Amino acid sequence: MRKTMTFRRARTRELVSIYAMVGVPYLLFATFVLFPLLWILRYSFYDYDGVRATFVGLENFRVLIADKVWWKSVVNTLILTFGSLAIGMPLSLLFAVILNGKLKGRVAFRAILYFPVLISLAVVGIIFRIMLAPDNGIINELLIAAGLIDKPIYVLATAGAALLTLILVEVWHGMGYNMTLMLAGLQRIPAELYEAAIIDGANERQKMFYVTIPQLGPMLQIIIMLHVLNGLKIFDLVNVLTRGQPFHGSETIVTYIFNYFFEMEGYRAQQGYAASASVVAFLIISIVALTYFKLSRRLSNNE
């Protein structure tokens, strides 16, 4: 009888420890993910300023859909995401191919190209904001010293220039990460494939398009997926470098939501409206992600 009781107690302690270990992650998920999502979904139907909440139904969504600034932020987000992808992917692949060869000092070059990844995007935004300053920025100083301009210019003065600057900075920051992933993929390509291509008379361009890129297909799909999902949520670089200006010309989805939620300068506190924008943003990101997954699966099946 005592042995049975002892066994039951030991078994009970074991089950308690197991359920505790399994339950803690679920508790954290419910606290920091599920509860905020439900909170946002609930208050998207309220006129809520952080103190008083009045149920307004779909009014927030109606106002949001009619807001030109919102749609401008959506378009800007897509431009930043796919613009940096169109520029960054070929550059990352080019550097990966070059540094995968027998280049002298390739380890140093890899470290130099990867170094920007280690810097926070918020810090990168501050650095470039100082460098591009119209009064004492180093970019203007260099251009004036080189005789290319007569007086200082403000690069971020127009929406087009601000978006292009954000794209180039984002490419510079993320290129090393993509290059590293591509290097890992390149090193897994069998040398026999290149030898067979050489025997068939393929040149360097043909080896790139008929051997390298097809073999890198799964890795490229992962890189594109990560880039698109992260790009659609871009916030820190834009908020620090341009703050969505000029005239909302570089506003993104997340900065739009942030400005209303935290009552930034020029905005009235509208947490309910920001919550409705978050719901719509979630739907947009989900549609883009599902579309990409569907296209990616279709391309994989056609190979």
Q: What average pLDDT score do residues 142-160 get?
A: 85
- In this prediction, residue 157 carries a pLDDT of 86
Q: What average pLDDT score do residues 84-111 get?
A: 89
Mean pLDDT of the chain: 87
Q: What average pLDDT score do residues 212-231 get?
A: 88
- In this prediction, residue 69 carries a pLDDT of 92
Q: Is pLDDT above 90 for 221?
A: no
Output the pTM of the full model: 0.86
Q: What average pLDDT score do residues 1-30 get?
A: 75
Q: Is pLDDT above 60 for 303?
A: no
- In this prediction, residue 194 carries a pLDDT of 86
Q: What average pLDDT score do residues 86-92 get?
A: 93
- In this prediction, residue 6 carries a pLDDT of 67
* Structure tokens given for 96: 């990966």
Q: What average pLDDT score do residues 211-240 get?
A: 89
Q: Is pLDDT above 80 for 248?
A: yes
Decide which of 167 and 141 is more confident: 167
- In this prediction, residue 299 carries a pLDDT of 66
The band of 200, judged by pLDDT with boundaries at 50, 70 and 90, is confident
Report percent pLDDT > 70 for the chain: 95
Of the CATH numbers 1.10.10.10, 1.10.3720.10, 3.40.50.1100, 3.10.20.880, which one belongs to the domain with range 60-302? 1.10.3720.10
Q: Is pLDDT above 60 for 81?
A: yes
